[in-house]
Every structure is written in structure tokens, then in C-alpha cells.
A and B are shown apart, each in its own frame.
Chain A
């Protein structure tokens, strides 16, 4: 729980500083819409997070702010200097109250109410002068009142429920309610429809006695109500006072108010001397707590990602240089040099692993937070949801995980809110009552896949289409494939939700999701079937800029195949390969389809009688890839291809070898995909002919 709280705070701090930046930018470029969007988005995320972590005070506060910026965004309201000032003070206030989310500090509470007043004024566009508001609020100080409330016996006959009045009082501050009961005299018939209860109420509130009297406005004529101010001391939580008033509780007599007043006065006198010492004790306590915290946090430090990036860069340069050194040593046969080279190689490998370890975190860290969110959100929505995670051990770059959390959170929320149906609805469709959402992470080749699979109602293609038309995103005459229609949900401002809810809605989110993932050089794919569910697949490149690969050669060109995808290598006769039916080979008594790369790459001649068949994993199946020769294992520093080669999709990067030549890193999954596509088109054209 504490770890989650820390995460929340970390995130909230980040969000708030983003908000600050956006607001500052907005102040200088008031007409720039993108900053308003940014402000709105940050608020939206903060609201979502806060409600997820059970902090309604913050969530509601931000919700109000968000409403204002929503109006500005939609052009219903104008941005003014006053509003920006107010937003900045709200921002400062938020920075404080994320640490005091139940406003236990009265100063915070006071500020909070002042700001809420200002915000509401902006929303109502009444533009009440804010200065006056503050003054009115600053007059409010905490006072303890004694309220005696004896409803008329016939109070029920007017349809009044005295308990509503009691709870209205309770909502005004900290209170202690002591109910008393009039005991009907013996032999007297029990009048079941009369009120026998009366109350002694101790209330600590910042409201004044007029506000208190207002509560009883409908019953003041018929009931006995006495309100007495007992002083500014917090008596409700005072143990001595508590003990004092408790003496009389069960006596069923009207409490002697004069006695109580005198006692309260005595306590106040006593405490005014005490408070000072208490205060100083508190501050020293606070200080020691702070110190402890500092000592604890030193075990982990935050490093700027720039520094980490630089470290990674240097390590990859080192690995490249080391490869050159190894080659030089091997060619020159100097014994001493070979020993040194070996050591350098070992060290650089360890250095590489450690440098990577710094940035890699198992995705599990993120899953835990989702579990909590699903639990809470399903409670709010009143849906039965089973949430499963797979592949939590999959490791990803820390920065990727951080960027990914928000988008995933959003997708999940959408799945829960719009995807999964209510239990009754599901039953009617013949599905299990509880919906299932699976979050999967797995490696495939040099990519990490993250899938969110739900078995909900799926995406209604027609609804999305007509919505897009009504929003003017597409024309009614446009013809779009199903995939293109699904992609529309990532369009800015697109949302099929009917209502703005706490959980999702407002049409921010999916576009941000898409942008975040594109920023990570990933792709997102939506597949959905009505009443069967929706699957969102996020594909991210492993940012591992150094991979363990297998260096192979095809026609004097070097290629690297990531070791992680390779299962086994075989030597095969070219004759067998050429003569095979349907590109199938029997390897270890198993039929393995293969790709004859030499052939595919357009080299005709066969230099050797034998080729090497490298069997790689492609999802569930195994596929062979033939190459001329295998050189060996190689630590490859993967550099991106230049911008001229962006269309080249089966090569994911290139690496400089020790001797300065270049090796291309193959993306085997893409390669296989392309090959299958090619075969299919060939088959089609063959059928057509």
C-alpha cells in the first residue's frame, strides 16, 4: 500500500509539474489550443489517478478545474488572467494537498474551500470578486457549540425526519451526538407514532450559530432548540471533556449546560498555556521523522535519464571497440594481448549487463497497480470482473514502462467501462456472469508485445463509423475497412461514451494512448468481434540497443539474428532444400517450413553443397531460415538504419563489426510475415490464372 502511495505521489508530482509547465506556456501563448488541451489532459489524468487511489477530495477538486478547461477547450468560456491566477493557486494548493488528502490540516481545509468557491464562481461565470470571498472565509474559525435539540413529539406528523437534521449537522464539522430517550410513564399507552428522542450535540465547526439555526428552519417553531457556544477549543476530541460529559449520558436528564460551560472554560484556560509546548514538541517530532525519511531514501537515487542514455551510449561504443580489439588480437597472435583482450571482453560484458539492468524493470511492477485499479473501478461500475495477468516477468526499459503505464491504464479503464457488460447482460448473451480481462506481456523476437484482451461486447463498427461521420472525422461517402474504422478510436476528440463518467469518457485518452505508444516507436492494433470481445495489441521494439545475436553470412553479407528467437541450427544439404515440396523439411522428425533466404534475396548461385538452417520461433510455430554459413555468437550494438531505409521492415537495425564492416539485424517475425504474404499472393494469382 505504501509503495502504491509513493507511486501515486511520484506521478502526481510529475503531473503537477507538467501542468505548471503547460500553464506557464499557456500564459504566454493564450491562443495556442494545444496548451489548453495539455492542461486539460493532465488534469484528466490527475483526476483519474486520484479517484483510483481513493482520494475523492483531490479528484473532485480537479474535476471542477477540469470542467472549466473543458469549457475553454470547447470555446464556451474565455481564458482570463484571473482564471490563470486562480489555476496557479489551485496548482500550488494541489502540491500541498496530495500529501494531505483528507485535509487534516485546518489551513489546507480553509484554502481548499476558498479555492473551490473561486472555481465554482468561474464555472457559474458569476465572477464574484474573489477578494471578498477570501475575507468571508477567513472570518471562519473553529468553534465548539453545544446544541440541544428536542423535537416536538408530533414531529413525524409533518413528514419530518429528525435524523436528516442530525446528519446535516454532522456534515458541518466534527461532532459528538448523544441521544436521550424519554421513557413513557407506566400505565400510559405507548404512542408509537410520537418522537421520544432528544439530543445533546457537541459540534466543532467553522459555521456560525446562524448557520446552525438554519438547519432547524422547518422545525424551530415546534421543537426546543438551544445553541450555546462553548469556546474555540476543540472539545469534541478532548478526552477530559469527553469523560466529563459521558457521566451524564445514561441518566436521561437534560444535561446541566452551566456546568459544562464552566468545565469547557476551565479546559480552555489550561490548554492555552499548554498549546505552546505541545506545538514545539510536534515540530521536533516532525523534524525527526523527516530525517528518517532522508536516510531511508538514500538507498535508491534518481538519475536523470539523460545520464543513463549517455552511459548506454558509451557502453555500446565500448562494446564495439572491444570487438575491434578482439579481432586485432586474434589476427596478431600476441599472447599478452590475448589475455588482456579476454579480460576487456569479460568486463565490458558485465558492464553492459549492469548498465542494462539499471534501466530494465519487470513489467510486474506495473501489473500490481492495475490489479488495484480494476478492483476499484469494477466496484464503481458494479461489474463482476476477473483480471488476469500473464508474463509479468517480461522486462522492459524503465522509461518505457513509465510512459506505458498511463496508456495501459486508459485502455484497461475503457475495457472495463465500455467493453465488459453488466452481469445480467452477459447472462442474457449466454456468457459467464463475470467478465474477463487479461493483460499479457511476452517477447517475440526483438519486440515486446503487450495485449489487453477482454471478452466483452466488442466494438460496434457501425456505431464508430456513424460517430466519426457526425464528428466530421470522415465523410459518409468514405469507404473504410474494419481495421481503419477501429483506428478511428484513436482520433483526437473521439469518444463513443454517452456520458462523462469518473472512469472514462470525455474523449481524451485514446489519442494520447496512441501518441505515447508511437513515441516509443511502437504500434497499436485493435481487433474486435461483436459480443466476443476486443483485443488491443501493443508492439514495442526492445530498446535493448545491444543484443546477443548469431552472426551469419549470406553471399558475403553479414546478418545478425537475435539469439533469443533461435531454437536450433542444422546443417542441411542444398539438394534436399531445393527438392523439398511446399518448402517443408524434416528436422528432428518434425516438419519445419523454411525460407530459403539466399533465393529470396535474389542470389542465384550456391557456393557450397550445404547450407545452415536456423530454426527460429515465430509465435507458436517454428520456421527455418537458411543461410550460407554461421560465424558465431556476437554481441551486437544495434544502431537504427538511416531514414532512407524506413520502409525496410524486416531489418530492424544494423551493427558495426570489429573490422568495421556492417551487419544487418534481421527481424525474423517480419521476415516470415512477408514471406507468407508473398506465398498467398502467388497462390491467388495462380488460382486466377
Chain B
């Protein structure tokens, strides 16, 4: 059974890079372009097992999105991995408090991504 992963990033190239990596590792990928879109994707795909989301996005940013996810009864415990950069240490902490499961620092290799994913979903 393939695991469904939702990727939310406003940059198309980043979405595609991650999606390609994950698909080649045997995951099914659903893509969202911002937090609001992400919530729609979440509603449309009840069998999601993991969300990977960027923080800085137009319309609805990652932190607000995360808070929404944690508010919902259904997705309260869904693992969420955030994409950060080295310089966003404070943001990382903010995301943790909002309920992020883990993080991955950009730029990253496919191997690293998969390792992080394996930490939070089985």
C-alpha cells in the first residue's frame, strides 16, 4: 500500500523536486500551493499519512496552516514536517510550538528527506 504524502510549497520547482524524489521512493504525492490550498487537499484526501510544508507562503503561511491542522479533530495527530533554512531557527521553534512533528533544513538530498520521513511514518 503506497503512502500518501501532501507537499505544500509555493515554489513549483521545489514541489516537483520533492515529488519526484518521493515518487521514486514509492510514495504517492499530492501537491498544494499554499496553506489554504493545503487544507482543501487535506479535506479531499482523507487517507493522508504525512504533510510536508514550507513556511513562507502567500495566502496562508505554514504556521497558520499547521495550527489549522492541529485544530481539526481528524488530523490532530497527523505528522507534519516543515521545510526551513539554517537561518530560520526562530521560525523552527515557532513551528514546533504550533505542533510540527519534525523539520528538514533546505537544501537537502533525497536520502535525507527519506530518512526524515521514515522517522515519522512507518
A212 to chain B, nearest CB (A): 14
| CB contact list, A125-163 vs B, under 8 A | 156-161
A497→B68 CA distance, assembly (Å): 46
A217→B92 CA distance, assembly (Å): 13
A217→B116 CA distance, assembly (Å): 10
- A158 to B100, Cβ gap below 8 A? yes
B28 close to chain A: CB less than 8 A:
no
- A164 to B96, Cβ gap below 8 A? no
Write out, one digit per residue, whether chain A residues 395-413 have a CB within 8 A of any chain B CB (1) or not (0): 0000000000000000000
- A218 to B99, Cβ gap below 8 A? no
| CB contact list, A197-236 vs B, under 8 A | 215, 217-218, 221-222
- A161 to B70, Cβ gap below 8 A? no
A545→B120 CA distance, assembly (Å): 68
| CB contact list, B45-95 vs A, under 8 A | 70, 76-80
A39 to chain B, nearest CB (A): 27
A158→B122 CA distance, assembly (Å): 16
A168 close to chain B: CB less than 8 A:
yes
Q: Which of chain B's residues have a CB closer than 8 A to the CB of A158?
A: 96, 99-101
Q: Out of B77, B120, B121, name the residue touching A218 (CB < 8 Å).
A: B120
Q: Out of A156, A157, A164, A222, name the residue touching B119 (CB < 8 Å).
A: A164
- A159 to B122, Cβ gap below 8 A? no
B21 close to chain A: CB less than 8 A:
no
A165 close to chain B: CB less than 8 A:
yes
- A164 to B120, Cβ gap below 8 A? yes
Q: Which of chain A's residues have a CB closer than 8 A to the CB of B99?
A: 157-159
Q: Which of chain A's residues have a CB closer than 8 A to the CB of B79?
A: 159-161
A160→B100 CA distance, assembly (Å): 9
Q: Which of chain B's residues have a CB closer than 8 A to the CB of A165?
A: 119
- A217 to B102, Cβ gap below 8 A? yes
A222 to chain B, nearest CB (A): 8
Q: Which of chain B's residues have a CB closer than 8 A to the CB of A160?
A: 79, 101-102, 120
- A157 to B70, Cβ gap below 8 A? yes
- A159 to B80, Cβ gap below 8 A? yes
Q: Which of chain B's residues have a CB closer than 8 A to the CB of A218?
A: 101-103, 119-120
- A159 to B120, Cβ gap below 8 A? yes
A218→B79 CA distance, assembly (Å): 12
Q: Which of chain A's residues have a CB closer than 8 A to the CB of B77?
A: 156-157, 159
- A221 to B120, Cβ gap below 8 A? no
B51 to chain A, nearest CB (A): 9
A215→B119 CA distance, assembly (Å): 8
Q: Which of chain B's residues have a CB closer than 8 A to the CB of A222?
A: 96
Q: Which of chain B's residues have a CB closer than 8 A to the CB of A159?
A: 77-80, 99, 101, 120
A210 to chain B, nearest CB (A): 15
A249 to chain B, nearest CB (A): 27
A485→B122 CA distance, assembly (Å): 46
- B76 to A157, Cβ gap below 8 A? yes
Taking CB as reference atom, which chain B residue is nearest A124? B111
Q: Which of chain A's residues have a CB closer than 8 A to the CB of B122?
A: 161, 164, 167
Write out, one digit per residue, whether chain A residues 594-632 have a CB within 8 A of any chain B CB (1) or not (0): 000000000000000000000000000000000000000
A217→B77 CA distance, assembly (Å): 19
Q: Which of chain B's residues have a CB closer than 8 A to the CB of A221?
A: 96
Q: Which of chain A's residues have a CB closer than 8 A to the CB of B78?
A: 159
A160→B121 CA distance, assembly (Å): 9
Q: Which of chain B's residues have a CB closer than 8 A to the CB of A215?
A: 119
A218→B78 CA distance, assembly (Å): 15
| CB contact list, A281-339 vs B, under 8 A | none
A479→B77 CA distance, assembly (Å): 63
Q: Which of chain B's residues have a CB closer than 8 A to the CB of A157?
A: 70, 76-77, 99
Taking CB as reference atom, which chain B residue is nearest A154? B99
Taking CB as reference atom, which chain A residue is nearest B75? A159
| CB contact list, B98-116 vs A, under 8 A | 99-103
A594 to chain B, nearest CB (A): 65
A212→B25 CA distance, assembly (Å): 25
Taking CB as reference atom, which chain A residue is nearest B78? A159
Taking CB as reference atom, which chain A residue is nearest B79? A159
Taking CB as reference atom, which chain B residue is nearest A168? B119
Q: Which of chain A's residues have a CB closer than 8 A to the CB of B103?
A: 218
Q: Which of chain A's residues have a CB closer than 8 A to the CB of B76?
A: 157
Q: Which of chain A's residues have a CB closer than 8 A to the CB of B100?
A: 158
Residues of A in contact with B (beta carbons under 8 Å apart): 156-161, 164-165, 167-168, 215, 217-218, 221-222
The 8 A-B residue pairs with the shortest CB-CB distance, nearest first, are A218-B102, A159-B79, A159-B101, A158-B101, A159-B77, A158-B99, A160-B101, A159-B78
Please, could you name 10 A-B residue pairs with CB atoms under 8 Å apart, sorted by A?
A157-B77, A157-B99, A158-B96, A158-B101, A159-B80, A160-B102, A164-B120, A215-B119, A217-B102, A222-B96
Residues of B in contact with A (beta carbons under 8 Å apart): 70, 76-80, 96, 99-103, 118-122
Taking A167-B122, A217-B119, A222-B96 as known contacts, 5 extra A-B pairs with beta carbons closer than 8 A to each other, sorted by chain A number, are A157-B77, A159-B78, A160-B102, A161-B120, A164-B120
